[in-house]
Amino acid sequence: MQTQPDVKSDIPRSREVCLDALSPVLAEYAEALGVPVRIDVPRRRVARPRGRRAWTLHPFALPGRPGWLGLGSKVREAAFAAVCGYPLSPGRRVAWSVPDLGRWGRPLRDGEGQTVGLVLGTDVYLLFDLLGQEPAIARLVGRAVLDLSLEAGHSYLLTLTGLGPATLETRLRRLRQATEVEGLGASALWRAHRAGEGEGAGAEAGAEVGALEGELRELELNLRTSGRQMRDLERRLFTAQRRLAELRQHQTSPDTLGRDFDRIAALPGVADVGVCDGALQVLTEPIVVEYGFRRYRLGRFRLDLHFDGRLFVRNLTDRYETYDHPHVENGRPCLGNIQEWVQRLLGQREFAAASELLLHYLKTVNPADWRKAVTFWTEVSP
């Protein structure tokens, strides 16, 4: 698994030292997430995205290609005294300010509200010189911006890792806790160093160092305890997920679905019922509704009741533009005050009860919240 940058031959020695300090961090995050986590060192101030096979940091770079004219004068020089609460090295605080960030990517803001990077898919562009810092600072700031970027790119991370939302959040929480403990330990050492440089150091500084080392040991112990608890919770989560999958498989077994088919087929207005592409499909007879002492033919519908809780309503014969029904656009129904009931029934695999409720819904129109007036459909004689 690659954790080193793609380019190293042209990197100054000082930056190689920072990369060496960051390498264990990248390996730790890669192991936790199960995907490559790497740094791509740009030769210019723009860098191409590396695709969606790895989570990639681009220090002091913007998305683009060499010679891209979109940069121009819009990128202005700025200065960051600190990033994520960690002070940057003196003389290495230059950064970029980019107006109109929406066209570049999703802004990545630290606790002070300053935009320190941009997230574009699985690529993270840092607007400051991460590799120009002292190795200890680069390691801490690198962890902090990784945590920020993983939170900001959560949806892309789900696709990249293939992990479930609960499992992914558990692992990200562990990484954030490790960052906090490492940051506290570094702060303790910095404070002790400053105390040793001041007047009357000696015994007083030694006492503070001892106290801070004790505090750090306690934090590390708490972190290990929390880690064991997290692993136990993760095991319980996996067990519950497996059991839930077994129950759902039972609920969608031929015998269970057969009973639901019989109940749904017996409902007034149902023409047929079957299973296709992970969904139970209910075909209706032609539906006619009354409104204002007139009758309108809405047509025949197909209800797609997915086993994962999704719901689509398709008009098979009388669709008007993008509207399947006065309350349905592009297959997505506006269920109003029955939304909660329908979702609950689908979640409990009560397909027959959900079908009955939805059939009543299709035969009802409400001018207060319809998306397209029913008068656009064909009027029929009584």
The one-digit pLDDT tens for each residue of the chain (382 residues) are 334 434 444 445 667 888 888 999 999 999 989 899 999 887 777 788 876 788 999 998 888 754 444 444 467 888 898 898 888 888 889 888 877 666 677 888 888 888 899 888 889 999 999 998 888 889 999 999 999 999 988 888 888 888 888 888 888 988 988 888 787 766 655 555 455 544 444 455 555 555 656 666 666 666 555 556 666 666 666 666 665 555 555 555 555 566 778 889 899 999 999 888 778 899 999 999 998 889 999 999 999 998 778 899 999 999 999 999 999 999 999 888 888 888 888 887 788 889 999 999 999 898 878 888 999 999 998 7
The residue from 235, 251, 267 where one domain ends is 251
The residue from 142, 162, 182 where one domain ends is 162
- Does 224 share its domain with 289? no
Structure tokens at 122: 């699985």
374 vs 270: CA distance, rounded Å: 22
Structure tokens at 59: 């220090």
- Does 145 share its domain with 42? yes
The residue from 110, 144, 162 where one domain ends is 162
Q: Tokens 């047929």 map to which residue?
A: 272
- Does 359 share its domain with 301? yes
The predicted structure's pLDDT at residue 5: 39
- Does 260 share its domain with 220? no
- Does 215 share its domain with 268? no
Amino acid, single-letter form, for residue 182:
E
- Domain assignment of residue 237, given as a range: 163-251
- Does 210 share its domain with 307? no
Q: Report how many domains make up the chain.
A: 3
266 vs 345: CA distance, rounded Å: 18
- pTM for the structure as a whole: 0.50
- Does 105 share its domain with 188? no
CATH number for 295: 3.10.110
Which H or E run contains 98?
A: none
Amino acid, single-letter form, for residue 167:
T
- Does 146 share its domain with 167? no
- Degrees, nearest 5: CA angle 140-25-3: 135
